[in-house]
Amino acid sequence: MQDSLTTTPVVRAATVATYTAFIGSGFAFASWASRIPQVRDQLELDSAALGLVLLAIAAGSLLALPLSGPVVTRIGSSRTVMAMTLLLGVGLTTAAIGSLAGVIPVVIGLFLLGFANGAWDVAMNVQGTVVERLLSKSIMSRFHAGFSLGTVAGALGGAAMIALDVPVATHLTVVAVLVVIAVAWQARRFVPDHDDTEPAADGSAPSAGGALTAWREPRTLLIGVFVLAFAFAEGVGNDWISVAAIDGHHVSATLGTLAFAGFLTAMTAGRWFGPALLDRYGRTRMVRVLALVGIAGATLFVFAPSPALAFAGTLLWGLGASLGFPVGMSAAGDDPRRAAARVSVVASIGYCAFLAGPPTIGLLGHHITVLKALVVVSALLAVAVAIAGSVRPLPGAQQQH
């Protein structure tokens, strides 16, 4: 990396810009999610029809994730985020205004939203690995904590807009404009993803290893499986903890929601305070310990004899799931020359868990109850424990941990 790029003001600006990208992504997505009930009512959709409409987001993301590696490699994370910010703004506005016209414009808007979000996610994670490398600090998890804070802000903002009876089209159009302006402006401050003259971390030629090659690299695929396990633990927690607490532990809806809030709080805290532990003890040791904590938490939640112990289980579960995804992104980006391709592959594999997790638990829950179905979380985290060595920094990577 060129010396001019490692000066404190430049790196500080890139750090702020990366936080803005993560927060903006979470804010935009949660703002949309907060208004789904109103869109459903406007379009007069039943649950099945609404599920099909929401699949447009998943379809867009699934298409974008594998394509984003070559795109980021070619034009850089800065231009990719700026372009995808504009596309997300168009998609969000189309879905918002389209909700007044019918299902088709909403589906088109959500597809664009999902596509933009998928490519944006890969690009901002690539930039996160660059900033992390320049700072020689494990701060990737804090960027992901920023995303979580963005989702909280978006959800609270949505609740306020509903309370004030602000129309969906007005609310989401304003959100789109604000996010486009803030993120596109800040993304200009990203530092280049790599220096074209620097060698690869493994000593190979700078041009070696294209985007498709990353799909054949054993380490990259193992990191993808590692991230998938943690993404499954996170996604299932988001979708099913409240339901399992209410139906399985027979608590009130309010306490079920508080259990979910405890999970989110523990996960956000782990991501914010985790960097110091990563720098002190190293990636592999920390993620193994946290995976074991997650196993203990999910198991306690399932088999707890009392709601109080089940609540304690959600805290351990959230803490245990906190660092796996960001650490996997860091590991995929160890080599700046191949970061875009590898982050794209790892993200593509990992996000399959967010898509497959909810229906998997739902199907199992139909036969053995949702609460007992959650033992799958512990099983996958056990796999993560076994393959945690895959996230060990590459020997030539510019990392201090």
- Please tell me the predicted confidence (pLDDT) of residue 211: 64
**Per-domain boundaries in the chain:** 3-187, 213-391
- Report in angstroms the alpha-carbon separations of 213 from 10, 224, 345, 352: 32, 14, 10, 20
Over residues 45-66, the mean pLDDT reads 83
Same CATH topology for 3-187 and 213-391: the answer is yes
> What tokens appear for 366 in the block?
């139909």
The pLDDT confidence band at residue 37, using thresholds 50, 70 and 90, is confident
Question: Is 226 or 339 the better-scoring residue by pLDDT?
Answer: 226
Report the pLDDT averaged over residues 214-237: 93
| Sequence-ordered list of residues with C-beta below 8 angstroms from that of 3, at least 6 positions apart, any chain | none
CA 308-263-327 angle, 5° bins: 140
What pLDDT, on the 0 to 100 scale, is given for residue 377? Answer: 96
Higher-confidence residue of 359 and 312: namely 312
The DSSP secondary structure of 76-124, one letter per residue, reads: HHHHHHHHHHHHHHHHHHHHHHHTTT-HHHHHHHHHHHHHHHHHHHHHH
Instruction: Give me the pLDDT at residue 47, please.
Output: 66
Q: Which two tokens stand for residue 314?
A: 């959600």
User: Per-residue DSSP letters for 18-63?
Assistant: HHHHHHHHHHHHHHHHHTHHHHHHHHT--HHHHHHHHHHHHHHHHH
Instruction: Return the pLDDT at 209.
Output: 47
pLDDT band at 238, cuts 50/70/90? confident
Give, in words, the CATH class of 3-187: mainly alpha
| pLDDT, tens digit (0-9, with 9 covering 90-100), for 259-289 | 888 888 898 899 999 999 999 999 999 999 9
Residue pLDDT, tens place only, 112-170: 999 999 999 999 999 999 898 898 888 999 999 998 888 888 888 888 898 899 999 99
Cα–Cα dist 87/172, whole Å: 14
pLDDT of residue 401: 41
Report residue 7's pLDDT band, with 50, 70 and 90 as the boundaries: low
May I ask the CATH class of domain 213-391? mainly alpha
Q: Which residues contact 340 (CB under 8 A, 6 or more apart)?
A: 68, 69, 70, 72, 73, 77, 122, 123, 126, 193, 211
Q: How high is the pLDDT of residue 397?
A: 58
Average pLDDT score, the chain: 88
Residue 5 pLDDT class (50, 70, 90 cuts): low
